[in-house]
């Protein structure tokens, strides 16, 4: 048994040998800790440390670039400034992260936490309220999944800057007889086409030239002038994945530096957690002492009462089901194997009843 912790004292109190612990710095927020022991240990166990070393070297290459490259050629700085321009000057509320690779399906959710937990702030580091917009709503889906989900809004609705991420070398190309291009090339055709559609749109004149009925022309016009950027990776492997992660980490830090906020705290997540402690105690008191729900607003009081009363009915019903099941087991089961199978069946029935 090994541990990953910032607190070796607690590791020892838990009963583990501190010599079998991997430490990391207590000033590294969870969202920035992928390259620390808490991120690297499970990756190394899964893929082997040689592969993880490639990932770390990729991230380190961008770290060095960010530290040494002139500002005008510094990728994280340029991307950070673009985001500041989009948010604070163009007042764009969100950013879409659109990797054209299924292997990057979890990139957008990770960047969502990295960005929104870091830069979702309304006050500067000195405590004064910001008089400009900071932070953005991050979301995304890989490839054509997003195209058939939210691209409609991106093309003809709100102004949402997009990050398109493509790969030159496919991880698993398939060439079908009779098709003009491979499956990967088909995907990349969309990667190249979508930014052009956002940038240039379609005018009334162009729509009319296509013979579109007059009543449909307004619906098939695209304003264009919608911002996006494209990142083209030579291949998608451990090294370039590390580069991509570090690129976004530094970009988000640059945004925080320019906005004058602290990208490395997250006080906004604390209030709800502290209120949940109060709710937990209320639940316990209701079930053990019969105390009524009080000291909440009307809406929460109503919903909490409904939840607790409904849960009481479910628990009572499930308990009755288990008692009935066990009573029948005593008379029907003769061997331990029969008993085990019957217990599993009763447990499954009770679970289905609770869920259903």
CA 42 to each of CA 49, 237, 292, 344: distance values in angstroms, whole numbers, following the listed order? 10, 18, 45, 33
Residue 138 phi, psi dihedral angles, 5° rounding: -100, 135
Question: β-pairing, 94-99 with 162-167?
Answer: parallel
> Pick the catalytic residue: 117, 136, 141, 249?
117
Q: Which residues contact 239 (CB under 8 A, 6 or more apart)?
A: 54, 55, 57, 58, 61
> Pick the catalytic residue: 12, 67, 148, 284?
148
Burial group, residue 98, by CB count within 10 angstroms (0-12, 13-18, 19+): buried
**Can 148 be counted among the known catalytic residues?**
yes
Q: Which residues contact 159 (CB under 8 A, 6 or more apart)?
A: 90, 92, 226, 227
**Can 273 be counted among the known catalytic residues?**
yes
- Which ranges of 17-93 would DSSP assign to H, the alpha helix? 37-47, 49-68, 75-84
Which residues are annotated as catalytic?
Answer: 117, 148, 273
């Amino acid at each position: 048994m090994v541990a990953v912790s910032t607190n070796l004292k607690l590791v020892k109190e838990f009963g583990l040998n501190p010599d079998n612990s991997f430490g990391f710095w207590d000033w590294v927020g969870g969202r920035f800790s992928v390259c620390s022991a808490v991120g690297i240990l499970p990756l190394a166990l899964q893929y082997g440390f040689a592969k993880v070393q490639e990932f770390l070297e990729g991230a380190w290459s961008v770290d060095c670039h960010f530290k040494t490259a002139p500002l005008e050629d510094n990728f994280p700085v340029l991307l950070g400034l673009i985001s500041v321009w989009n948010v604070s000057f163009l007042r764009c509320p969100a950013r879409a992260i659109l990797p054209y690779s299924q292997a990057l399906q979890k990139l957008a959710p990770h960047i969502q936490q990295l960005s929104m937990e870091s830069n979702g702030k309304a006050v500067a580091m000195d405590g004064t309220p910001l008089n400009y917009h900071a932070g953005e709503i991050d979301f995304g889906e890989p490839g054509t999944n997003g195209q058939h989900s939210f691209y409609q809004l991106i093309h003809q609705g709100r102004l949402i800057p997009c990050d398109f991420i493509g790969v030159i070398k496919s991880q698993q190309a398939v060439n079908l007889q009779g098709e003009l291009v491979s499956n990967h090339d088909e995907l990349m055709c969309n990667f190249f086409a979508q930014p052009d559609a956002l940038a240039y749109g379609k005018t009334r004149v162009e729509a009319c030239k296509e013979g579109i009925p007059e009543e449909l022309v307004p619906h098939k016009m695209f304003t264009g002038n919608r911002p996006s950027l494209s990142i083209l990776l030579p291949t998608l492997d451990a090294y370039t994945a590390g580069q991509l992660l570090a690129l976004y980490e530094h970009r988000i830090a640059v945004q925080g530096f320019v906005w004058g906020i602290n990208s490395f705290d997250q006080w906004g997540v604390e209030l709800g957690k502290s209120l949940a402690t109060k709710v937990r105690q209320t639940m316990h008191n209701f079930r053990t002492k019969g105390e009524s729900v009080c000291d909440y607003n009307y809406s929460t009081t109503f919903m909490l009462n409904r939840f607790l009363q409904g849960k009481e009915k479910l628990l009572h019903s499930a308990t009755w089901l288990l008692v009935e099941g066990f009573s029948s087991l005593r008379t029907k089961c003769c061997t331990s194997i029969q008993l085990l199978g019957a217990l599993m069946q009763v447990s499954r029935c009770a679970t289905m009843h609770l869920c259903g």
